[in-house]
Amino acid sequence: ADFEYEDLYQSNKGAIAKWNQYLKNGGTIVTDVTMVQAGITKEFIKKYNTQVVCYLNDEAVPSLAEKENITRSQAGIRIAIEKHPTALFVVGNAPTALFELCDQLIENKFNPQGIIGAPVGFVNVVESKLKLQAMTDTPYIIIKGRKGGSNVAASIVNAAFTADSNHTN
* Burial readout 10-26 (b: 16 or more C-beta within 10 A, e: otherwise): bbbeebbbbbbebbbee
Which pLDDT belongs to residue 136?
82
Distance of CA 128 to the CA centre of its chain: 12
Q: How confident is the model at residue 165 (pLDDT cuts 50, 70, 90)?
A: low
pLDDT, mean of residues 133-152? 95
> What are the tens digits of pLDDT across the range 151-162?
999 999 999 999
Q: How confident is the model at residue 28 (pLDDT cuts 50, 70, 90)?
A: very high
Q: How many CA atoms lie within 13 A of 31 on its CB side?
A: 24
> What are the tens digits of pLDDT across the range 115-132?
999 999 999 999 999 999
Mean pLDDT, all residues of the chain = 95
Which pLDDT belongs to residue 39?
98
